[in-house]
Chains A and B, each alone.
Chain A
Amino acid sequence: MKLTFAIQGGDFIHAGHPSSEVKKVLKQLNIDNKIIKNVVIALYEAEVNVVAHAYSGTVNVEIDENKITILVTDEGPGIPDIDLAMKPGYSTASKSVQEMGFGAGMGLPNIKKNTDEMWLETEVGKGTKVKMLNYFS
């Protein structure tokens, strides 16, 4: 099964929509609740990263019998220093984004913690790709 969602940079109103849809689908498929929770946390963080930092993005979800693979691709500023971005507590979010309670520097670390595998590919000035994989068993 494949699902695709578009994300607009700066659109906090719809942040969480892809996560919510994926959660519904996984529930219908009777996937273990703990795994659904992990997937939802990771996807929500990836969505918010696009909304908070990039201009636009796409979420591509692929679900098969034993795993879910999610690719979040954005057109945005890219990440100059991945090690720093992966460090819990480090954030480049704007002040207004931080006032909403985002930008605590927990996004990428939360994604890593809640996925079985994670890949990050980025080019400064172009954008970032985050691929996340969770096995169902």
Chain B
Amino acid sequence: MKVFELVEELGLKVFSGHKGLDREISGGYVSDLLSDVMGNAQEAQVWITLQVHQNVMAIASLKDLAAVILVSNLEPQENTKRNSDDESIPILGTSLPAFEIAGKIYQLFNR
């Protein structure tokens, strides 16, 4: 599944990084601890988090993640959006909390 397909399926908001919308997604990872994501997330996963600062993009880029999904209507900081555009890694948004959006994505990947 590609990032834009996930956006369409789940009605996600696209904040930035539009050039990366055709990235292929391998699965997802949910965590708000940056070291945890650094150590354990896998390439091409979508990262579900409530962290909005720009270190999120440093990690997304270093780990070659497919996209970042901010939960509960959170919005990325301006410099986070800029990094997302530079790295072509989209930042997406949802009104749902992490548990619910993770559940929906898990279902999409296992249907």
Give the interface of A toward B (CB within 8 A): 12-13, 15-16, 19-20, 23, 37, 40-41, 44-45, 48, 100-102, 104, 106-107, 110, 113-114
Instruction: Name the CB-closest residue of B to A107.
Output: B35
Asked if B51 contacts A45 (CB within 8 A), the reply is no
How far, in whole Å, are A44 and B36 apart by their CA atoms in the complex? 12
Query: How far apart are B44's CB and chain A's nearest CB, in angstroms?
Result: 12
Q: Is B32 close to A, CB under 8 A? A: yes
Residues from chain A with Cβ under 8 Å of B51 in the complex:
100-101
What count of chain B residues pass the 8 Å CB interface test?
A: 19
Interface pick from B1-9, B16-24, B57-65, B101-109: B57-65
Complex Cα distance, B53 from A100, in Å, reads: 8
* Cα of A102 to Cα of B61 in the assembled complex, Å: 17
Question: Could you tell me if B79 and A104 are in contact, using CB atoms closer than 8 angstroms?
Answer: no
B35, A102: Cβ atoms closer than 8 Å:
yes
Q: Which residues does B use to contact A, with CB under 8 Å? A: 32-36, 38-39, 43, 49, 51, 53-55, 58-59, 61-63, 79
B33 adjacent to A104 (CB under 8 Å)? yes
Specify the chain B residue showing the minimal Cβ separation from A40. B62
Which of B38, B55, B61 is in CB contact (< 8 Å) with A100?
A: B55
Cβ contact within 8 Å between B38 and A44: yes
Given contacts A44-B38, A102-B35, A107-B35, contact A16 B53 (CB under 8 A): no
* Chain A nearest Cβ from B88, distance in angstroms: 14
